[in-house]
Amino acid sequence: MNMFKEGLEVTRNSRRKYQIEMTCRFDDNLTEFQVWDISNNGFSFLCNKGSFFKEGAIFNKISIFNQEKNEVINATGTIVGTSEFDKSKTRVGIRFGKKRMDRMVGGKIRIQRHFPEIQIDISLTIEIEKGTFIRTGTILDYTASTARVEFNPDTTDYKFQIGDEFDVRISIKDRELLNCRVFVLRIKDDSSEVIINFIDQHLDLAAIETISKSFQNKNRIITTLESLEKFDKIGDEYKALICDWRLYLSSLKNILDYEEKFHNLKVGTDMELFLQSIEAEVLKDQNKFIIRLNEIAGKVPDSESLDHKKYFRKNLITFIKTSPLAASIIDRDNGYPGDFETIKQFFVNPYSGDSLFGKLMNKFIYSTDAVQAHQRRIHYLYDQLCSMYGKSEKEFSFLIFGSGPAEEVLRFVERNDLTRPVYATLVDMDAFALADFSERLQFIQKENFFVELVNLNILDLIRGKDLNLVRNKYSLTYSAGLFDYFKDTFCKRFINSFVDYTEEGGSIIITNVHKNNSTRYLMDYGGGWDVIHRDDKEMLNLVPKDMPFELSLDENQANIFLKLKVPEKRK
């Protein structure tokens, strides 16, 4: 075995080229390390013992420099091993991932050109018989020994020639980088661009990178300070709440990240058991913050609410979006709040997430009134479908406006023996929601269930557009959540249209989020999910004159259910 290892090492060494004078840097760290050996597939370098380099670490940017400090390789890579080099040094081996530059020309590595992230100014002092004058311009790209220059418009008739020598000053924001002699290496046909070669000196690439980043960060800091000034009018009480909440979430995340890393909580069931043991206290703490938010936000004038929402999201959104459900609500992948993919997440495992903290945040969002109210809304509609179907004598039909994922319909079909025909029509503006329902339905399809899917903007209903439905009248017409987004005038017109599609003696059901919803400001400030909340009186204001009705709330009083009865003989 030892002989095999020795033979392997000889073979590996024969394929490597030792480069004692080469150095390397990683990501944005300016610390350089000595390259020990290098091959086409990877390289190794030396670092002090106890350094932070660990096997499996991934680098998004690896720069390798030759003895002239020219960057000759730019790549990504992964640490594949570490070994003791001597008493003070460790040897670290890296396998290349994607090499952005590794071509060989004439036995030499082609030098990669750099593109400045900030303007680099250049001035050339030109001395000719007519006198001395200055040409100015900017550097388009560069290496340590050359630069491609674009000149500013000039009135002189001087034409560059290959081999011409000039004095050059290169600077960034009046900060001098290089002052030296150069000669012209190449010229563009119209002389607007010239490649120059530095004589006896080199550009300090690391200095350019450092200066560029410093100016970029300075601009970011200035922009940040300017943006913070916009929040000067926000009260101290609100800022204190957001600060306390951010500190709490940050501390919670640090604790959970530590547990996940060092107590080997990798299996989903282990994570859930761990979270179940602590979530009651965490959810109680979160509710305290929500209560404080409701007290303050309820007093914020409409003219100032936008700045309060921006301040909330600027400070807390990073923590909140670790919840997949919250991220779906915020990102609106389908272009509107409460889309069918978001609603579907209300009915999956609440402990979803990429980390222990993310899973706990998802459980928190899952437990809020806003989500729980929607779940209870589905239970209510499912019960109504079952009850009305049970009372039907021959057939049962229902029409849904704004059907979304129609979770209640899928449950109704799956859990009931449909001995009598059921005719369902689902209308939604999102064709993908209807397609998703159709795909899920095919796995639970039953003989006596007949469905019609209609892709239509609900506003076409009150414009008087003919829907061309298979049926003219239905035993039940309902809309769950649609009224949350429309003012009273539109809602009344919707109800009148619903009546036209409902049989005499049939029912109309409308749901709306109640003003008692304790997470209404969390939905709005955190998720940008702004809905129209109504109380009992406001809901009754939508009822047509002389139409029988039933009004009820769910167990948490976060939902209003309005059930209308279409008279047998309409007046």
Structural domain boundaries in the chain? 14-108, 121-208, 255-367, 373-517+529-565
Q: Are 137 and 122 in contact (CB under 8 A)?
A: yes
Q: Is residue 109 predicted with pLDDT exceeding 50?
A: no
* pLDDT: which is higher, 285 or 28: 285
pLDDT higher than 80, residue 310: yes
State the pLDDT at residue 100: 63
Mean pLDDT score, 290-311? 93
Which whole number is the average pLDDT over 100-125? 65
How would you classify residue 385: left for phi > 0, otherwise alpha for psi between -120 and 50, otherwise beta? alpha
The answer on pLDDT for 110 being more than 60 is no
Better pLDDT: 84 or 453 = 453
- pLDDT(265) > 60: yes
C-alpha distances (whole Å) from 266 to each of 56, 259, 260, 279, 363 are 18, 10, 7, 18, 18
The DSSP call for residue 522 is: I
Q: Which of 165, 191, 199, 179 lies closest to 121 in space, CA to CA?
A: 179
Express as a percent the part of the chain with pLDDT over 90: 49
- Residues 283-301, mean pLDDT to the nearest whole number: 95
pLDDT value of residue 155: 62
Q: Per-residue pLDDT averaged across 11-34, rounded? A: 69
Split at pLDDT 50, 70, 90, the class of 224 is low
Predicted pLDDT at 19: 46
Residue 262: its pLDDT value, please?
Answer: 79
pLDDT, average across residues 142-150: 87
Q: Which amino acid is at 6?
A: E
In terms of pLDDT, which residue wins out, 113 or 137?
137
How far apart, in whole angstroms, are the C-alpha atoms of residue 535 and residue 521?
A: 16
> Average pLDDT of the chain?
86
Q: Return the CATH class of domain 373-517+529-565.
A: alpha beta
pLDDT for position 210: 82
Report the alpha-carbon distance of residue 101 to residue 70 in Å, rounded: 13
Query: Where does 298-393 have alpha helices with state H?
Result: 302-320, 324-331, 340-344, 356-366, 369-391
Cβ-based burial of 369 (10 A; exposed 0-12, middle 13-18, buried ≥19): buried
Mean pLDDT value of segment 248-269: 84
Question: Please, which pLDDT band fits residue 186 given cuts at 50, 70 and 90?
Answer: confident
Whole-number pLDDT of residue 219: 74
Please tell me the predicted confidence (pLDDT) of residue 134. Answer: 85
Number of separate helices (H) and strands (E) present in the chain: 16, 22
* The two three-digit tokens of residue 322, written as one number: 């670790």
Q: What is the pLDDT of residues 413-424, one digit of tens each?
A: 999 999 999 999
pLDDT at residue 317 is higher than 70 = yes
What is the architecture of the domain spanning 121-208?
Roll (2.30)
DSSP 8-state assignment for residue 534:
B
Name the band, by pLDDT with cuts 50, 70 and 90, for residue 8.
Answer: very low
Span 382-422, pLDDT tens digits:
999 999 999 999 999 999 999 999 999 999 999 999 999 99
Q: Is the pLDDT of residue 363 over 60?
A: yes
Cα–Cα distance list, 376 to 151, 405, 511, 531 (Å)? 69, 15, 11, 18
**Closest C-alpha to 338, from 287, 398, 403, 286:** 403
The span from the first CA to the last CA of the chain, in angstroms, equals: 100
* 536 within 8 A of 527, measured Cβ to Cβ: no
Report pLDDT for 228.
66
Alpha-carbon span 170 to 214, nearest angstrom: 18
Query: Is 116 within 8 Å of 208 (Cβ atoms)?
Result: yes
Q: Which two tokens stand for residue 563?
A: 């059930």
pLDDT of residue 143: 84
pLDDT of residue 101: 58
Range with the largest mean pLDDT of 86-95, 349-358, 377-386? 377-386
Q: Using CB atoms within 10 A of its CB, is residue 275 exposed (0-12), middle (13-18) or buried (19+)?
A: buried
8 Å CB contact between 278 and 259: no
DSSP secondary structure of 143-173: -SSEEEEEEPP--------TT-EEEEEEEET
| pLDDT above 60: residue 153 | yes
Interstrand relation of 165-172 and 121-128 (parallel, antiparallel or unpaired): antiparallel
What's the pLDDT at 112?
A: 63
Lookup: tokens for 29? 């760290």
- Distance CA(251)–CA(249), nearest Å, equals 5
Pull the structure tokens for residue 162. Answer: 């290959």
pLDDT score at 285: 96
Q: Supply the Cα-derived Rg of the chain in whole angstroms.
A: 35
What superfamily would CATH give domain 14-108? predicted glycosyltransferase like domains (2.40.10.220)
Question: Residue 204: what pLDDT?
Answer: 82
- DSSP H helical ranges for 501-553: 520-521, 527, 536-540
pLDDT tens, 458-470? 888 888 787 888 8
Q: What are the CB-based long-range contacts (under 8 Å, 24+) for 180-186?
A: 182/124, 184/160, 185/146, 186/162
Among 52-66, 91-105, 154-168, 539-553, which range has the highest average pLDDT? 539-553
Say if residue 408 is exposed, middle or buried (CB neighbours under 10 Å; 0-12, 13-18, 19+): buried
Provide the percentage of residues in the chain whose pLDDT is more than 70.
91
pLDDT at 98: 78
Rounded (5°) CA angle 245-250-256 = 125
Confidence of residue 104 (pLDDT cuts 50, 70, 90): very low
